[in-house]
Amino acid sequence: MSFTIGIDLGTSTTEAAIYRGGKKELIPNPDGAVITPSAVGLDESGNWVVGERARAQALLLPENTALEIKRKTGTDETVRLGKAQYSPVELQSRLLSYVRAYVSEYLGESVERAVISVPAYFNEQQRRETILAGERAGFTVERILNEPTAAALSYGLEHMEEESHVLVYDLGGGTFDVTLLEMFEGVLEVKASGGDNALGGKDFDEALIEHLVSSFQKKTGKNLRKDRRAMARIKDEAERCKIALSEYDSHRVLIPAICVLNGSPAELDETVTREQFEVLTHALLERTHEPIDTVLSDAGIFEDALDLVILVGGSTRMPMVARDILDYLGKEPVHAVHPDYAVGGGTDLNRCEPLHARDPYQRRRERRLHERCDPAQRHDPRHAHRTILHLL
């Protein structure tokens, strides 16, 4: 059996899924995890490392490790690893090659076809570079699917009313994406999309990092900002702190031997409360409001016309996100099955098999998905078509 895999190529993490036996299935990587860090690097011997190994080495070899590559997609920026410069396409292709290798090993056959999700507001250049990265990894990229549509598929169209307006709020590791979907007569259509490709969980991390560094400098007089290894350790602990504060009211950040002061190792020791964190990041959360307003305006509807608000992306685990949406839109949001897996789990549900391959009874149980293509997609036959999907 030849599989088409769905790939959520995220800023912070990447997931891969297949659809078989009537169920979606997330594929574990060689570490046994279904979430792979979107990290690529070169080890001390000059060999490529990808995923968890690359993320782990960022603490010791930050100059040889690339993180958050997705944010550079579609730009002229390059990433320096060691003595060489690499384009975002090349680094993304390394990550996708790794995904292809472990999925093929898991399935026991070479996987050559993929559907890759991207933010709905990605422009033509960004979409083309994503396709190119996939092709360099050995994939035939059958479709570029908007992330909010993939999330809606993962949530399950059968959970939506026949006529409804669905707002997908996707706050990921590096990007914010908001999309208004309309379900009408069994067709799910993207009515409007917007977002901020410079807003995501990493920005919340950065606010916390700045707080920790400033507090340490105030206590000791030492500025750690130019110490790459110290900053890499602080970055790692700041992310742990943010995650902990989604569950607990406070978290202690303790980093031993962060630097040398007066000839002796000094530690960074700071307790951060959830209230402090929310104050530090309040302005970031407020930045989500304008894209929401723009999308609602473009779609020509008011907040009270929303039937469902779906939360997608690991950063929506922060309790303040759901509270903010409730306050701002007056609508209680729901999490899409699993915020980290929602997009990856929905990409491969977007099947492209022709109707004539199905029996008449099966056809009656199907609905159509129509993604209204943005200008970047209209002349690409991989996008400008209706897709038939079989609901779980």
Integer Cα distance of 143 and 352 in angstroms: 9
Helix (H) or strand (E) holding 78: none
Query: What number of H helices and E strands is found in the chain?
Result: 12, 20
Indicate if the alpha-carbon torsion angle 281, 283, 286, 288 is positive or negative.
negative
Write b or e for each residue in 109-129: b if 16 or more Cβ atoms lie within 10 A of its Cβ, otherwise e. Answer: eebeebbbbbbbbbeeebbbb
246: its two tokens: 């989604």
Give the rounded distance of the alpha carbon of 276 from its chain centre: 26
Contact 104, 4 (CB under 8 A): no
Active site residues: 8, 70, 147, 170
Which structure tokens are listed for 202?
């990493």
Helix or strand holding residue 319 (H, E) = helix 319-329
